[in-house]
Amino acid sequence: MIFKGRIFKIPFPFTDRSGQKARPALALSEPDGYGDVEFLFITTKQPSASGAVIELTADAFAGDSLPFPSVLHLEKKYILSRDVIIKELAVVTDSFLEKVLREQTLLATRKHYEVRHKENNPFRPGDRIPYAGRVFDERELTTLVDSSLDFWLTTGRYAEKFEKEFAEFIGVRHCSLVNSGSSANLLAFMALTSPKLGDRRIRPGDEVITVAAAFPTTVAPIIQYGAVPVFVDVSFPTYNIDSTQLENAISDKTKAIMLAHTLGNPFDISAVKSFCDRHNLWLIEDNCDALGSRYLFNSSTSQHLNGSPSEPINGSYNYTGTFGHIGTSSFYPPHHMTMGEGGAVYTNDMTLKRLVDSFRDWGRDCWCVSGRDNSCGDRFTQQFGELPYGYDHKYVYSHFGYNLKVTDMQAAIGCAQLEKLPGFIEARKRNWRQLREGLADLGEKFILPEATENSDPSWFGFLLTVQEGAGFTRNKIVGQLESKGIQTRMLFAGNLIKHPCFDEMRKSGEGYRVIPNSSFQQLDASTLLPITDRIMRDTFWIGLFPGMREGMLEYMTSTIREFCSR
């Protein structure tokens, strides 16, 4: 006799086999070695039904249904002897049984979150205050487990859902998920090297304007491809590119500008974008630290690709990452939202979307999504290069690409996080304001951060630069904060050119250019980027992520103020 998936009449109480008191129950298993079976009890549908239930609708049954409206109680699980069964009542479909088992697993996952992960402890001075971290609840765990039960190990239904909803949120037409923010930067740059872009493509030896006060993977793709980064200084108190230096940086080899919005603070998009439009340059926005930041665009120009304007973006605040030709995001745990590892590339241009996907997916020419064939209808009817006519389009390669896809399990976490992103963004803004107000009178000790004009930043951290006459060094205050449990970070590379990865290029004097900051009198080659060097020596930042518990921000503020009052 088969038990699993069948509904039986079970005596209740379990010792009464008279049939006068009985309930229907769904068998979840076959009898074990002791003859015991797992059952879930079914009750007549009641308006006051509480707890985790699934309604037994007509499509749940493989044959005749129960003669009364019923609900299955996921938490009323019993191990009973096969001998207590009175009679069989109905059979459910395999898909319904799978749904029941899945929901039971997710119910157990929610309970696991409550026991293992839910944070209930109040903050006490001396507790570790991280600069950033994951902020999640049972929804991330349940979507992660839900995707794992599909055992679809590459990109799938959750990835498609995330790409669609993220594009809608940020305000672009196309989003491509990738395995990290660094991969996103790589793909954004490599897309612009495609021969399919004709004369506008970036070639080895072409120049790309950027800054050295950055995270390395904003610059690494330029160097790895054989293009030449051209470094321009930044300015206080926004810590972004000094746009007045751009004209000094351009040459007949310049093809693009690739910049990050520093720690969530947008760079001067109006100035940078207008410069790109005048000189027909590509603009890549590294938005990895600025998801949710907004900017009021004040220019009559609009984005162009080969002369075709995109939708107008003037006159209202738009999210950063949407002003350039391509934007990128990171979903590493410290960032505004997380998938663990993960990133995204987004654009309004289908040509660039196709190029990003090609480089992401092994360099193939085909644009079918994973697990689908012949979306174009011409899989075996095209001519490519010197291949035989009709060669399978899924195995035609138009670029030297990579495999940088995300897994569906990561994307599932992202879907749950995306629902919370607006709240995360507001928390970051609120926490930044509290720190800024709490330290507002310490201008003699620090260069305090300021938002770029016409911007509404979604801050990644709170930047502080020790003033030259402060009476202490960065190392002194950082050491004090760390000793009190307050985690600190440098502004990433500080000055990337001074790092060991640049040793050979510095010695040879080849592979990059530095534009002297014309606002300062230069004394020697080591001061070509004086503000960047100042950041390298004197700047650090502290956290303000949404996971800050009550009392943490006040403790950071009081600790800094106490140190400065010595």
CA distances from 415 to 290, 424, 545 (A): 19, 14, 19
Distant-in-sequence, close-in-space partners of 151: CB < 8 Å, separation ≥ 6 = none
Torsion angle, alpha carbons of 13, 19, 21, 22, to 10: 80
Distant-in-sequence, close-in-space partners of 265: CB < 8 Å, separation ≥ 6 = 238, 239, 240, 290, 293, 449, 451, 452, 455, 457, 459
| Range list of β-strands (E), 28-148 | 36-44, 53-55, 70-81, 87-91
Here the tokens at position 143 are: 């979507």
Which is catalytic among the residues 73, 174, 325, 335? 335
Helix, strand, or coil (residue 357): helix
The Cα 406–Cα 44 span in angstroms is 44
Catalytic site includes residue 325:
no
Here the tokens at position 538 are: 């004197």
Give 196-257 as a 3 state SS string. HHHHHCCCCCCEEEECCCCCHHHHHHHHHHCCEEEECCEECCCCEECHHHHHHHCCCCEEEE
The Cα 90–Cα 9 span in angstroms is 10
Here the tokens at position 194 are: 């495609």
Instruction: Report the catalytic residues.
Output: 335
